[in-house]
Structure 1
């Protein structure tokens, strides 16, 4: 019997183990909520979120909700240990590099516009010497209280306001004193003079004054800003309300079911429900102006920051450089064309010069030939007369000598005429030679003598 009892005991243990394993094997849906004590509608909206998730995911899925600091949420996203995040708009935009996307945003009777529903209030004693943000900065070492781990809401909101007003936000950070106490305790510290100022979330003061009606007689809000979109006095610009974020670990069906459930969920007991926020540009600008989170590179001179800071100038310089290069290319091209044309012109000029030299030489030859022809004609014309005369005298002398002896005087006259005509011919040759050398020249002439000679 003992072996049977032992086997029965083993069977019971195994069955219990299987049941426990089956029970523990149900899927777990992990939700991380940003830590923010005493925030307006915080508890009721988380309860509403939990009910909506259980309704959307079904009873078989176990929903685990944990309250975490922003740093813890980032660590969980890196390790893939969270499916849904519920946080304010600043943390949401800081988590964009982790692949999160907004699904739904808190909407309530208090804030009819979910795009402008969150901010911060900086309070001081009403009868104190601080009446503006600038005066607060000018004080020597003032103490400003803030809840611990509230960097992603009230701190960033007020620092963004300092940047907008062109005040020294870095100096203000040196005045901060992080406190683990709740916002209600920070208000008491300001009233009692333990702190010069305190940072509170939007609408906390209006909530708190319900319990302490005399509160407004003791404190005041610095840089008070009021809007018809939020019945609260704040010190900063208004930003979108808290949002539910889906992470890369969630399936498309789960995201669709959760979105449909949230957006159709009725109001909570405090008058809050789910809507959609569409304007996160202001939050992105806030983070960029503060140079934090994904914009922390702006604090150092990196290549990315250089391009973002001087992008218009880079474009202008690029356009100018492109224009210079283009102009240089066009000018170089034109220079090459003009150089080629000039080279061709010089070649043509050289060719024409050679042709001109040939023509000039030919003309010179023709000119010389003309001169020779002219001289030949001149010589033939001028020498013909004296030569004919000499020939006639010579023939006459010979004929007379054939007839018989002549007197010496007659012979002398004939020889003298021949000699005279010979000198005339020689004179003609000299004149032709001078003309060939020097051309025609004016010569002084006795006109009367020429006429009598003619």
Structure 2
């Protein structure tokens, strides 16, 4: 039944389900029995089985693996990481029991009623085994450790004509029961099975697996191709734009470097010109200062020479000396005033303006 339900999202539908005299309800005929060695006092609940070695049928087997993993998921564990390792033996259920009894496996997973069959065949003494998570026997006469699910089912694909579905369904239901009393019936409740598939992330609830990706690729191939083409165009456009921006940036950097070099050269030339101008101004100012100071200094020199000659000739009088010293002091004041005006100009101070007669100045 799990196979039919796992592919219901692609149109597979259940037609009939096997029903047996061991179960009162065809909706509750399938399950698993979890066994451990009776000597293992440390193994009593599902929690105790975490990290242990297991033996089971197949990874896709419902009663001999999946149903038991549903109970692991109910206990709050990740089924894919629950056991440290699992040995799969297909339909060789006796090998599963043997591994548990010999200690090769800590826990075994059997399909419902497989234990009773082994006991009838005298393969195992049930007292040597202990059963984990045992459920009440209200719905099924065989021991089971899990919830119960619909039994073997036959499903139809969406391509099968409705007339064929009806004919096959009617033919199967009217078949005579087998020697064990198994016959075809109709299951009406798949709630527990859907809950199990959801917990195990299987079938319609399967996401991000290889099968899921394959189905998505097949169903949305044209959309994915279009999206891929758009993405390729976008990547190409982005690459071309980045190259263009890179080239423009390189050109701009070269231009800026050239402009900066030109600016530095102009700055250096301007600094040289300013130095030359300052040198010229200094020369002019120096000449003007020398010219202005030369007159009072020359006068002072002449007056001093005149006093020296008068003293040597014995003609120097007190009145003459006083007159010459006053003239020398006036020339010294003139030189001092020139120096003060130059200093004020150098400091940027305004010396003030005066109104003078041009004739007197000349």
TM-score (norm 1): 0.43
Go from structure 1 to structure 2 and tell me whether the alpha carbon gap of 1:148 and 1:286 turns closer, same or farther (over 3 Å shift).
Answer: closer
Deviations 1:88-136 (A, max 9, x none): x211110112311111111121112100010011111011131221112
Q: How does 1:51-62 map to 2 (within 5 A)?
A: none
Stretch moving more, 236-245 or 220-229: 220-229
Which residue does the alignment assign to 1:216?
126
Which residue does the alignment assign to 2:58?
148
| Contact preservation (8 Å) 1:226, 1:232 | no
The structure 1 residue matched to 2:150, chosen from 233, 240, 253, is 240
Which residue does the alignment assign to 2:207?
297
Q: How does 1:40-439 map to 2 (within 5 A)?
A: 89-129=1-41, 130-137=43-50, 141-180=51-90, 182-212=92-122, 215-297=125-207
Q: SS at 1:92's partner residue?
A: helix
Q: d(CA) in 1 for partners of 2:12 and 2:58?
A: 25
| Contact preservation (8 Å) 1:102, 1:246 | yes
Q: SS at 1:198's partner residue?
A: strand
TM-score (norm 2): 0.54
The number of equivalent residue pairs is 208
Question: Which structure 2 segments of 5+ residues have no match?
Answer: 210-362
Q: d(CA) in 2 for partners of 1:214 and 1:276?
A: 35
| Contact preservation (8 Å) 2:17, 2:153 | yes
Deviation (angstroms), 1:230:
0.7
| Contact preservation (8 Å) 1:291, 1:298 | no
Deviation (angstroms), 1:288:
1.3
Deviation (angstroms), 1:249:
3.4
Q: d(CA) in 2 for partners of 1:153 and 1:268?
A: 21
Go from structure 1 to structure 2 and tell me whether the alpha carbon gap of 1:181 and 1:203 turns closer, same or farther (over 3 Å shift).
Answer: closer
Question: Which structure 1 segments of 5+ residues have no match?
Answer: 1-88, 300-454
Query: Highest Rg: 1 or 2?
Result: 1
Deviations 1:388-430 (A, max 9, x none): xxxxxxxxxxxxxxxxxxxxxxxxxxxxxxxxxxxxxxxxxxx
Q: SS at 1:268's partner residue?
A: coil
Deviations 1:50-97 (A, max 9, x none): xxxxxxxxxxxxxxxxxxxxxxxxxxxxxxxxxxxxxxx211110112
Q: CA RMSD in A?
A: 2.1
